[in-house]
Structure 1
Amino acid sequence: MKKLTPSSYEEFCKDFCLDLPDHFNFAFDVLDKLAEETPDKLALIHVGPDHVRREYTFQWLAEASCRLANTLSERGVKKGDRVMLILFRRIDFWVSMMALHRLGAVAIPSPHLLTAKDITYRMHAAKVRAVVCEDSVAATVERASQDVPSLVAKFQCGPGPVLPGWDDMKTACANSANSFPRPADSAGGEDPLLVFFSSGTTGQPKMVVHKHNYVMGHAVTGMYWHDLRPGDLHLTVADTGWGKAIWGKMYGQWMAGATVFVYDFRGKFDAADLLTVMSKNKVTSFCAPPTVYRFMVREELEKFDLSHLRHCTTAGELLNTSVFNDWKRVTGLSIYEGYGQTETTLQIATFPFMEPKPGSIGKPVPGWDIVLLNKRDELCSTGEEGEICIRLTNGTPAGLFLEYVDEPEKTKSVRYNGFYHTGDKAWRDEDGYYWFLGRVDDLIKSSGYRVGPYEVESALVSHEAVLEAAVTGVPDPVRGQAVKATVVLARGFSASPELAKALQQHVKTVTAPYKYPRVVEFVDELPKTLSGKIKRGEIRKSDLKRFDETSARPHLVEVPRRVAAAR
């Protein structure tokens, strides 16, 4: 696919066209072609927990995935079967994904943080046929899979002792053929490709199924949002158990001619360590959530050689202006924001040929007919808040999910009247830029104002004392709801009423004064999903038990080691 070089967003929309090949299958149509035409070109550079750098070519990856495809086939895995992968950032993840594409089996990338109970639920819900996991989590998977009748094969990766009844993947594949001719009935196009268990903040996770054509939606991710060119070295900071890894660690990057860089760090995130690895390996393109950038700018960035870095992107939450400015001051680089969901590829983005507005997620990606709808399902005007929706009457984007598996009513609840409803709210400015407000259920209604949590959280984390913040509404007999901030402090700061008041004043100076948190609570950590999303619903539920709804103003029940200020 030839990359366009537009000088403006308008030119990009006019000239861009996504051609979907018939019965597209990435392993056969892209990986094998790259292996044939550029066998020695690096597909992936991997730095493990031991900090040893290992390089893998497209030819190596093609042959390794063929061997695994043959091995899985011998164990009874076939087209349409679902296979769970729990592999951290091991090279085995990429081999497994490509092998499953060849077989037409459906990959289920899963995070290593899952408990045995989580795994059991997912295996039963998805009728998992096989599992490939790292040795460090194999025992947990074994406990979870005791009563899963659909399971026929279990593969373990790594140097640890192989559990009884399991195969060591390396040994099992050693004598398998390194070629796997494309079957006449190969999966492709509209056939299922992979399943994500969505990291919803309430209830059991939904099974989001994507088709093979989904991959083509990531051409925009790699070529244009990441702005990748042949020879680039791209790093996306994401665990392979989450959808963001699929966005930034294979499809779009390889279609753009770039090499994927992987740092398989374990344990607690260390910003200085990551910066050192980026500097040593001369990473040229970087994508990470705003939290990672926030940790990085608190380091002495000048100490690290980032001269090879030329393009930076972010998604997953809103980027606050202070982080954007601090990063640009030292590196000279802007950070380009984007928006999408587990159910989609990139929907809205700030591209390199656009002027970034810190805090804005950008403009719609070509091919995604984005609109904002109010409660009456009417189109919103400029400046009016509405739900982000995708109009489907003129066609379905390649990156939109097929369905929630075995849950037709849930699928219908988001796809109706010719639209896909994201459940996210935003507003559009006079230049056509979109500004994310949060989930529909997260909006706070206070004294006739509607306050989005992200804007207040962004203001809070721009203060040096704040590491993380979650903003919710608490009952207030006068205002209806009052804005409440639940705050995790940065190292070196202590909770106090004085600091709470300082944070309130800080928010008033950064954003509209009516949005400031009238209640501030300090905690050691925020409740989060496995993917790191804040569970605002859990905070609200807890607060309902602790706030007196009949009092003249909200007050906080005394909680050990927590300090609150209410005004």
Structure 2
Amino acid sequence: MHFVDGTKEVKVNYGELYNKAIALATALSSPSPPKCALVLLPKIPEWWVVNVAGSWCGTIISPGTSLLTPGDVAHRLQESGADCIICDTEIAARMNDVSKNVPLKIVVAHEGADIIPGWISYDDLIKSVEGKAKTPCIKSRGEDIAQLFFTSGTTGKPKMVTHTQASYGIGQKVTTKYWLEVNENDLMWNISDTGWAKAAWSSLYVPFLAGATAFIHQKAKFDAKEVLHILNKYPVSVLCAPPTAYRAMVQCGLAQYPFHSLRHCVSAGEPLNPEIMETWTKITGLRIYEGYGQTETTLLCCMYKGIDYRPGSMGKPAPGYNLKVIDDDLNELEPHKEGYLAVSLKEGKPTGLFNGYLSNKKQTSKVFLGDYYITGDKAYYDEDNYFWFVGRADDVIISSGYRIGPFEVESVLIEHPAVVESAVVSSPDSLRGEVVKAFVVLADNYKDHRYEDLIVELQNYVKQNTAPYKYPRKIEFVKTLPKTISGKIRRVELRSNEWAKS
């Protein structure tokens, strides 16, 4: 693994990683390993060590982005029952109050940093088992949970998605071979935050399965020029990036940065505009191969070498998944008919598909219907079995690869005294694909305020009270919100009007 953060470079070979992971697993196992660890770490070597250690000793790993607020973390701790939290010093200071009742709190401290009382130093844990017998690898069962992710939905707080020891890692073999095409000679760079399932896919399992070198760049914010500089400077051969990154690079003087080693580019998280793909190919000579999957699955569909390249298509179903397009009555539709994208379960449950939302039978029953798993996306396929994305079937917003539930943003906005009611929908954006827009009904005593000031105030309020990436980049003040006869807000109407303007 090759780590770069702008000031220094660190290289960690798999032998070193393996030994540290076993040491950490041994330390965690005394007297018994934690049931579940909430891991909030940036792109540093310790994140990879913790993941391997968790599999070694049987601790469920629940990753989260470092952008989470104390309120977000409190919710995750309560829902998951996590009895361990692992983070760096900066995050530990922010989470100290909400994590007081967590039995084991581990901090990855920078050299010379003070350890907060009640927290245990990661380095001290590793050192504590030096010279001692190492704990043997746990004989886990196939159905044991390996990873627990939180994913945003249309209503309520994020749901818990679990993947098992027998299914998730093995399921990424298809991702490795057919979509990313990684081998042991590659230097692979996945631009993804460690809090997302995509990091588990392409920063953890894929390079491990291929024996490739994982290239990891840690920076607080995405910088297109810096990404181009890195691709020009380092021998990165495989790039996995969200559409936002490609759009930004195309608009940032792409031709000034020749790539000397890059041979394969893939995109995921949301659809990529065909015109961006064409420009990228024209300048670099490389095609961008789209892939589609979810937190609940492994790779479902992709463009891969060996099939005709069709820009804008999601490609063909990945081996192991039988994709169908169905209607409201679960009837399978013919080519070019729009419907719900679903995974057929008639031949059995595919490797890599989750079992259901943990402790949430209601939401599970909504996605497992009859002989299908319903993805929540709308699509169609053509006569050659290429699939084409149409849009979300629900109100979830996917912006710059971040999945944002409207309820999460509305719940924060309603806490502000200026807001009587709000509705949050997606709005088209040339760079991010779509962004969060809030329609707000103001309280009477705020209607005389300057709208420009109120917008900034509400945006800052959301940033302060939930993960900053969820804040509404657009806010429109309205007198009323469209509703059904039963009083439910018609987000679909607001969203349709918003996209009709583009």
TM-score computed with the length of structure 1 as normaliser: 0.71
Out of 78, 87, 104, the position equivalent to 1:153 is: 104
Return the letter of the residue paired with 1:67: A
Divergent runs of 4+, >6 A? 471-474, 533-536, 546-549, 563-567
In the TM superposition, what is the alpha-carbon distance from 1:202 to its structure 2 partner?
Answer: 3.5
Between 1 and 2, higher relative CO (CA 8 Å, sep ≥ 6) is seen in 2
1:377 and 1:564 map into 2 onto residues whose CA distance is: 28
The aligned length equals 435
In the TM superposition, what is the alpha-carbon distance from 1:430 to its structure 2 partner?
Answer: 2.3
Out of 33, 51, 71, the position equivalent to 1:77 is: 33
Q: Which residue of 1 aligns with 2:333?
A: 380
Comparing 432-441 with 170-179, greater Cα deviation is found at: 170-179
Q: Residues 334-359 of structure 1, C-alpha deviation per residue, up to 9 Å, x if partnerless?
A: 10001111100110111122233222
Q: State whether residues 193 and 210 of structure 1, in contact with CA within 8 Å, keep that contact through their aligned partners in structure 2.
A: yes
Q: Secondary structure of 2:394's partner?
A: helix
Q: Which residue of 1 aligns with 2:67?
A: 113
1:350 and 1:539 map into 2 onto residues whose CA distance is: 37
1:111 and 1:177 map into 2 onto residues whose CA distance is: 31
Q: Which residue of 1 aligns with 2:84?
A: 130
Out of 350, 354, 358, the position equivalent to 1:397 is: 350
| Unaligned segments of structure 1, at least 5 residues | 1-43, 444-455, 475-522, 550-562
Return the letter of the residue paired with 1:215: G
Out of 121, 145, 149, the position equivalent to 1:196 is: 149
In the TM superposition, what is the alpha-carbon distance from 1:393 to its structure 2 partner?
Answer: 2.2
Change beyond 3 A, Cα 1:228–1:412? same
2:479 and 2:336 map into 1 onto residues whose CA distance is: 32
Q: Which residue of 1 aligns with 2:177?
A: 223
Change beyond 3 A, Cα 1:533–1:339? farther
Change beyond 3 A, Cα 1:457–1:336? farther
Change beyond 3 A, Cα 1:73–1:285? same
Q: State whether residues 436 and 471 of structure 2, in contact with CA within 8 Å, keep that contact through their aligned partners in structure 1.
A: no
Change beyond 3 A, Cα 1:546–1:406? closer
Change beyond 3 A, Cα 1:88–1:290? same
Q: CA RMSD in A?
A: 3.2
1:109 and 1:322 map into 2 onto residues whose CA distance is: 34
Q: Which residue of 1 aligns with 2:494?
A: none
Q: Secondary structure of 2:375's partner?
A: strand
Query: Is 1:67–2:23 an aligned residue pair?
Result: yes
Change beyond 3 A, Cα 1:472–1:57? closer
Out of 252, 273, 286, the position equivalent to 2:226 is: 273
Change beyond 3 A, Cα 1:317–1:565? closer
Q: State whether residues 198 and 205 of structure 1, in contact with CA within 8 Å, keep that contact through their aligned partners in structure 2.
A: yes
TM-score computed with the length of structure 2 as normaliser: 0.80
1:143 and 1:473 map into 2 onto residues whose CA distance is: 31
1:473 and 1:390 map into 2 onto residues whose CA distance is: 33
Q: Which residue of 2 aligns with 1:453?
A: none
2:5 and 2:501 map into 1 onto residues whose CA distance is: 48
Q: Residues 300-352 of structure 1, C-alpha deviation per residue, up to 9 Å, x if partnerless?
A: 12222312000000011110012101111111001000111110011011112
Query: Is 1:353–2:306 an aligned residue pair?
Result: yes
Change beyond 3 A, Cα 1:59–1:273? same
Q: Residues 519-549 of structure 1, C-alpha deviation per residue, up to 9 Å, x if partnerless?
A: xxxx999x9995958989x989x76836899
Q: Secondary structure of 1:144's partner?
A: coil
Query: Once the two structures are aligned, what percentage of the paired residues are identical?
Result: 33
1:225 and 1:126 map into 2 onto residues whose CA distance is: 32
In the TM superposition, what is the alpha-carbon distance from 1:416 to its structure 2 partner?
Answer: 2.6
Out of 203, 211, 235, the position equivalent to 1:257 is: 211
1:135 and 1:471 map into 2 onto residues whose CA distance is: 31
Q: State whether residues 438 and 475 of structure 2, in contact with CA within 8 Å, keep that contact through their aligned partners in structure 1.
A: no
